[in-house]
Amino acid sequence: MSVIIVLIGFSLVVALGFLIAFLWSVKNGQFDDKYTPAVRILFDDKKKNSEKNNK
């Protein structure tokens, strides 16, 4: 029974660590992408192999 308590405590520490890392990355702008949405329309779509064979 004591193993379960240790595992629950460890999982809470790990989850808290991931939460802190996520909040830190959001605060520092790691998920801000201001360039790609503006030029996404300019990127060419990749053609499928079947379309190349039909020509």
Residue 51 has pLDDT above 70, yes or no: no
Residue-level pLDDT at 53: 62
- CA gap 46, 55 in Å, rounded: 16
Domain ranges of the chain: 2-44
**Are 18 and 11 within 8 A, CB to CB?**
no
The answer, yes or no, to whether residue 3 has pLDDT greater than 90, is: yes
Q: What are the helix (H) ranges across 1-55?
A: 2-27, 36-39, 49-54
Q: What is the pLDDT of residue 41?
A: 79
Residue 5 has pLDDT above 70, yes or no: yes
Q: What is the pLDDT of residues 15-43, one digit of tens each?
A: 999 999 999 999 998 888 777 877 877 87
Alpha carbons 24 and 18: distance in angstroms, whole number? 10
- Residue 45: pLDDT band (50, 70, 90) is confident
